Amino acid sequence: MPVRPFLRIAIVALIAIGAVYVATAQETKPAAAASAQSSERYRIGSGDVLEVRVYNRPQLSRDAVRVEGNGMIRMPLIDGDIQAACKTEGELAKEISTRYARYYRNLPVDVFIKEYHAREVALIGAVNEQGRYQMQRHIRLLELLTFAKGPSEKAGQTINIVRAPRTDVCEQDSSSKGEGLISLRLNDTLRGDEGANPYVEAGDIVTIPEAEQVYVVGNVYSPKSVPLKESLTVSRAIAMAGGPLRDSKTDRVHVVRHSLVAGGQSEIYVNLTAIARKKEDDLLLQANDIIEVQESTGKSLIRSLMGAVAPSVAQFPVRVIP
């Protein structure tokens, strides 16, 4: 066979194969997208409340049908229970229409979820909006935090998920971790790191513990307790309290450190002026440190500490203990 006709045949064959590949890929993409969309669709669970609308048959329609603990519901004229759990609204509507086929042919049925109770999680602790959240789809931990308007300024460095044994008979997420306590770094979750951003599951209790505190008192603009974040130093803590007032002894800032191991406390003096001039290292703080910026006259530490704590104590409600 001459070379030129052979090349022509080979090119035609490659073009044909490419066309078949493109057509197959175009058919596969919509199918994959439809499959992913179906898996994300909410599936009815125990405790959900449904509205069932039967076209032109108000005597069969129901405004509030609660899904029982075994996942079943009951409808008029239908013998036995109907499996509702693990079905989508459309799947259950089709099932009900099929069960009515002995009485009415091609009866249109619509199912709507009025109340979501099967997928409820609790978010508590150092978040801006604590509460119970009812999920209508699979969501990840970071998305749940956004609904709660994020962690509060008192949040610590960890986020915990208390996960009970699964009782859901429907599909389980392959990324799900087992029951027990799941502890993650909050900063990793906020960055969206996959390992620290799992899907939350029904019954999860998500907690963000408050950070340990240090206390800035004395001759500063706003004496306060400051959450102990990573790498919090003396100068930064004082800056968070508004900075030192005039006539402060910035060359001798008093730090009181409690030591559980030694069973007592130690005192450290820091030269804030030298730190600002890069002549001394900034002291890294520990939990429950008390930083006192003294006046030139030497104000009492106890009076300073009471001045920082007392205003916040007055804000708490009064409760009677019988």
Q: Has residue 25 been placed in a domain? A: no
Q: Has residue 144 been placed in a domain? A: yes
Using alpha carbons, list the distances in angstroms from residue 264 to 41, 252, 258, 280.
59, 22, 6, 27
The two three-digit tokens of residue 102, written as one number: 């002995």
On average, the pLDDT of the chain sits at 80
Residues 90 and 131 in one domain: no
Question: Percent of the chain scored above 90 by pLDDT?
Answer: 45
pLDDT at 301: 53
- pLDDT of residue 2 exceeding 80: no
Q: What is the mean pLDDT of residues 72-88?
A: 92
- Domain end call among 208, 223, 242: 208
The two three-digit tokens of residue 121, written as one number: 């999680």
Which CATH number goes with the domain that contains 262?
3.10.560.10
pLDDT at 315: 53
Q: Which amino acid is at 289?
A: D
End-to-end CA distance of the chain: 107
Q: What is the mean pLDDT of residues 210-217?
A: 90
Q: Has residue 70 been placed in a domain? A: yes
Question: Percent of the chain scored above 70 by pLDDT?
Answer: 73
Residues 124 and 190 in one domain: yes
Residues 154 and 111 in one domain: no
Q: Where are the alpha helices (DSSP H) in the chain?
A: 3-40, 89-99, 141-147, 186-191, 234-240, 272-276, 301-313
Residues 86 and 157 in one domain: no
Q: Has residue 62 been placed in a domain? A: yes
Q: Hey, which of 76-80, 132-136, 163-167, 175-179 has the most confident mean pLDDT? A: 76-80
Residues 242 and 295 in one domain: yes
pLDDT at 159: 94
- pLDDT of residue 92 exceeding 90: yes
pLDDT at 126: 92
Residues 171 and 217 in one domain: no
Write out pLDDT tens, residues 115-127.
887 778 899 999 9
pLDDT at 215: 92
Residues 102 and 131 in one domain: no
Q: Has residue 236 been placed in a domain? A: yes
- pLDDT of residue 285 exceeding 70: yes
The two three-digit tokens of residue 218, written as one number: 């004395």
Number of domains observed in the structure of the chain: 3
- pLDDT of residue 141 exceeding 80: yes
The two three-digit tokens of residue 167, written as one number: 């009782």
- pLDDT of residue 34 exceeding 80: no
Write out pLDDT tens, residues 103-112.
998 899 999 9
Q: Has residue 194 been placed in a domain? A: yes
- pLDDT of residue 236 exceeding 60: yes
Q: Has residue 240 been placed in a domain? A: yes
- Domain end call among 187, 208, 229: 208
Q: Which amino acid is at 61?
A: S
- pLDDT of residue 133 exceeding 80: yes
Residues 204 and 128 in one domain: yes
Q: Has residue 35 been placed in a domain? A: no
Write out pLDDT tens, residues 169-213.
565 544 455 568 899 999 999 999 999 999 998 889 999 998 888
pLDDT at 44: 87
Residues 59 and 87 in one domain: yes
Greater pLDDT, 231 or 30: 231
pLDDT at 221: 93
pLDDT at 255: 93
Residues 263 and 188 in one domain: no
Which CATH number goes with the domain that contains 106?
3.30.1950.10
- Tell me the residue range of the domain where 267 lies: 213-312
The two three-digit tokens of residue 286, written as one number: 């520990």
Residues 102 and 141 in one domain: no
Please state whether the predicted TM-score (pTM) of the whole model is above 0.85: no
Q: What is the mean pLDDT of residues 288-300?
A: 77
Model confidence band, residue 25 (pLDDT cutoffs 50, 70, 90): very low
Euclidean distance between CA atoms 51 and 65, whole angstroms: 6
Residues 130 and 108 in one domain: no
pLDDT at 312: 52
| Nearest CA among 205, 56, 25, 12 for reference residue 124 | 205
Euclidean distance between CA atoms 18 and 11, whole angstroms: 11
Q: What is the mean pLDDT of residues 76-92?
A: 91
- Domain end call among 100, 115, 130: 115
Q: What is the mean pLDDT of residues 35-52?
A: 74
- pLDDT of residue 36 exceeding 50: no
